[in-house]
Amino acid sequence: MSYLITHLKNGWQVDQAITSEDDRVVVIRFGHDWDPTCMKMDEVLYSVADRCKNYATIYVVDITEVPDFNKMYELYDPCTVMFFYRNKHIMIDLGTGNNNKINWPLDDKQEMIDIIETVYRGARKGRGLVVSPKDYSTKYRY
C-alpha cells in the first residue's frame, strides 16, 4: 500500500512537507517499504487518508533512502509514525513511555483516526503534548 501514499525522496522534501503545511497535521511514516510492519501501517494510513484529508496529510519516508533524520528523531525501529503541526513536532502520550512517536503497527483504522484527530485538536490549541484516546501501556504485557 505504500505506493499509494506520497513518498518523500530526500531531506529537502521532508523539510518542505513539515514546514509548508499550515492548517493540517503532517503524519509521516518512517521505515522501509519492504518491511511487513510498515506494510501493515501503510495499509491503515492509506485507508484513513481520505477520511482525515481535511485535518491531516500523510507521507511515507524510506529511512534507507533518506537517512538525514535517523539520529535526530531516533528512528531505530522498523516502523515509526510521527506527527508535526506548523513546523513543530507534536508528541503524543500513548502510555508506553515513549511520547515522541508510534513505533508499532496499528491494526484498527478507527484508532488511527482518533489519534490523528486528537493530535490535530491538541496542536490547534497550542499543545506540544497530547494524550492518546486509548492507553497502550498493556499492549505488550508479558
Span 69-105, pLDDT tens digits: 888 888 888 899 999 999 999 999 888 777 788 888 8
Q: What is the pLDDT of residue 142?
A: 42
Span 33-52, pLDDT tens digits: 888 998 999 999 999 999 99
- From CA 115, how far away is CA 132, in angstroms rounded? 6
